[in-house]
Amino acid sequence: MSACKRLIYLVKHRSLWTYVRRNVATWSPVGAAFNTKPHRRLDLHEKSVGLFGVPELSCPAGFQVASKKSLKNTELLVEKVCNCPPGTETVESFDQLSDGLCKVADLADFVKVAHPDPVFREAAEKTCIEIGTVVEQLNTNVELCKSLKRLLDNPDIVAQLDSDTRRVAELFMFDFEISGIHLDDNLRKEAVALHVKLLDLNNEFLVGSHMPNRIASSAIPAHLHLQFENEGSFIQIGGLHAESPDSLVREIAYRIYLYPNAELMECLEELLKCRYKLAKLVGYESYGHRALKGTMAETPGKCFSFITTEPSLYSPYLSLGACMEGLNNLFFQLYGVSLMSEHPSPGEVWSEDVRKLAVVHETEGLLGYIYCDFFHRPDKPHQDCHFTIRGGRWCQETGQYQLPVVVLMLSLPHPTKSAPTLLTPGMMENLFHEMGHAMHSMLGRTRYQHVTGTRCATDFAEVPSILMEYFATDFRVISQFARHYETGQPLPESMVARLCESKKVCGAADTQLQIFYAALDQLYHDKPLDRSTTEILKETQQKFYGLPYTPNTAWQLRFSHLIGYGAKYYSYLMSRAVASMVWKQCFVQDPLNRDMGERYRREMLAHGGAKEPMLMVEGNLTCLTFFFSPNLRKDCFTFSHSSN
């Protein structure tokens, strides 16, 4: 029996664990891959295949080679698009153009954040800026826009397009419009200059928001020095230490990590000014109006209406390997999909701790690859996130589907000699959340990469990941994988019940916090600031949050979501409302129901952004409550993950 067939057989029969003498659990291939350290390759003569198997990226200089190759191909495709007759080929060429740039830019966007080698990070950052500048220039290229306009202005041609092609064409036109294609030459040049300036400001703020603050060691009680990282006569504080049991450690970290940084404050204020100026230049009332066009919320007004109405005993049962086996089991039962551990080729990954998973469907075969960068290392950002490295699309030129490639990045502790990596319930939920994003990318089968996987409306993109949090706290799911790493004993149902009850205790506070974040984000992007961002923070916190503002802190300078989610942070709340509806109508009775899993994939996951978000939701639910109705707002604030 092949390894693939054997794993599928094991999953089907739920025989994920076998027990040897002394009751020590052993693991299936996927579980073992994450509960043990990888074997280091010793063959120094093997040739590097390059990061993610891209030959050019065997060294940092390869980014320039890849960028140059991509930009040359871009020139050829631009010429092709501008000269081909209007029709499906026009849209396909646009998507190929986007795909070629995204393959380099998305990969570089990840490497500049995650690679341990600063030379690689610097090369990737330069590539991001170079590709980003070209993208902004293309978004205001009049001839490119005219080629698309010739298509969309011809009703006879539009009538011949399939629904996916028509939507992608409209989305590309939308990108032109919000970039200022309708402006005269001078104003278009000004819009491009603002876009390029924002690329630099975005990068500066992102880097700064993750930089540690430092303080003289003498200012911290000596017995607490070991809690933080030492740097000569200084102590570095790179996070809030929110999980520390010591209240003094938490207070020190909060006050020092959030202490205002004048340069970063200036960067944020300039960034917000540039965003507002750009939005006004291209014809929007505010950056919030520009950012929300095409989303489920539609306008800042509706967004505000939505957001203003309403150390663990578990860890030994939640080894990383057990949780990965649980995900493997869940995905097979819902979608017929298995996670297969693969050994990466030399040079393919940026750290020896990275695991590579092939996602294999029982009948469709290989769906794509997930690189799991799960473990803490120096200089790695302390954030959990999903990166698209390569989007899926149907390749007309090869007659094959371009398989998606993504990275999941967490910051988990390393396994030790005596124990595997053990997760808190919160870590486990985050793992399920990020894997929801990954499976959105893997299970999509879109014709165009421009709308693949998570490339959809921001307030819809979080639905699959938040839905996974419901599975992560349902005993019927947990009971299939939560086993003590030493004895193999299952996690008692009573402990799961207590965990679910504990979530209700802070549920309202968490909702209130998210509303505060969302409101602050909207106010920053509503109109030109008439006072400092800190004053706005203080006023908003007093209005929307139960805990008072702490003097001499500037939390907004650590709010890195202002870059990727500018004017769209409300999306988490709205996505939670939709995920709640999907859970209650589709999975609450039976979270392992294959028919519902297939339906959910067919109606919501498969389309990426190729369909309107509300149409996907309507297609999946038996009935739909209008989004801004009182019932839906009530659903938004229902955070109990129990099956009741």
- CA distances for 513 relative to 94, 431, 519, 640, angstroms: 41, 22, 10, 17
pLDDT at 557: 95
d(CA 371, CA 369) in angstroms, rounded, equals 7
d(CA 142, CA 215) in angstroms, rounded, equals 53
d(CA 208, CA 214) in angstroms, rounded, equals 13
Answer whether 189's CB lies under 8 Å from 278's CB: no
d(CA 639, CA 644) in angstroms, rounded, equals 12
DSSP three-state, residue 25: strand
pLDDT at 18: 38
Beta pairing class for 17-19 and 25-27: antiparallel
How many residues make up the chain in this entry? 644
First to last CA, the chain: 42
pLDDT at 228: 92
Write the DSSP assignment of 447-515 as a string of letters: S-GGGSTT-S-HHHHTHHHHHHHHHHT-HHHHTTT-B-TTT-PBPPHHHHHHHHHHHHHTHHHHHHHHH
Closest by CA position to 466, among listed 372, 571, 562:
571
Answer whether 331's CB lies under 8 Å from 498's CB: no
Which segment of 28-42, 265-279, 371-385 scores lowest on mean pLDDT?
28-42
Q: Which residue ranges make up each domain of the chain?
A: 312-504+589-620
d(CA 314, CA 220) in angstroms, rounded, equals 32
- CA distances for 407 relative to 143, 144, 386, 442, 561, angstroms: 36, 32, 6, 12, 19
**CATH T-level topology, domain 312-504+589-620:** Neurolysin; domain 3 (1.10.1370)
Answer whether 87's CB lies under 8 Å from 151's CB: yes
pLDDT in tens, 489-506: 999 998 888 888 777 767
Q: Where do we find the tokens 């690189």?
A: 371
pLDDT at 26: 67
Tell me which amino acid residue 490 is.
P
Beta pairing class for 213-216 and 234-237: antiparallel
Residue 396 pLDDT exceeds 70:
yes
pLDDT in tens, 150-164: 999 999 999 999 999
For residue 43, how far is the Cα from the chain centroid? 35
d(CA 615, CA 214) in angstroms, rounded, equals 50
CA–CA–CA angle 579, 374, 388 (5° rounding): 60
d(CA 339, CA 358) in angstroms, rounded, equals 6
pLDDT at 635: 44
- Quote the pTM value: 0.77
DSSP three-state, residue 81: helix
Question: Which residues make beta-bridge pairs with 372?
Answer: 355, 408
Catalytic residue among 434, 462, 469, 603: 434
- CA distances for 480 relative to 24, 419, 584, angstroms: 17, 21, 21
Contacts 24+ apart (CB under 8 A), 188-192: 188/140, 188/142, 190/281, 191/140, 191/278, 191/281, 191/282, 192/136, 192/137, 192/140
d(CA 579, CA 583) in angstroms, rounded, equals 6
Integer Rg of the chain from CA: 25
d(CA 421, CA 432) in angstroms, rounded, equals 16
pLDDT in tens, 63-117: 999 999 999 999 999 999 999 999 999 999 999 999 999 999 999 999 998 999 9
23 contacts: CB under 8 Å, gap ≥ 6: 486, 487, 488, 489
DSSP three-state, residue 229: strand
Token pair of 352 as six digits? 């020896």
- For the chain, the average pLDDT equals 88
Helix (H) or strand (E) holding 358: strand 355-361
Closest by CA position to 449, among listed 529, 393, 497:
393
pLDDT at 303: 86
Closest by CA position to 387, among listed 359, 409, 358, 360:
409
Beta pairing class for 234-237 and 355-361: unpaired
143 annotated active-site: no
Answer whether 242's CB lies under 8 Å from 506's CB: no
Question: Which residues make beta-bridge pairs with 355?
Answer: 372
- CA distances for 288 relative to 139, 283, 295, 574, angstroms: 20, 12, 11, 16
- CA distances for 254 relative to 80, 242, 279, 410, angstroms: 55, 9, 34, 22
- Three-class DSSP labels, 359-398: EEECCCEEEEEEEEEEECCCCCCCCCEEEEEECCEEECCC
pLDDT in tens, 321-354: 999 999 999 999 999 999 999 999 999 999 999 9
pLDDT in tens, 551-582: 999 999 999 999 989 999 999 899 999 999 99
pLDDT at 44: 61
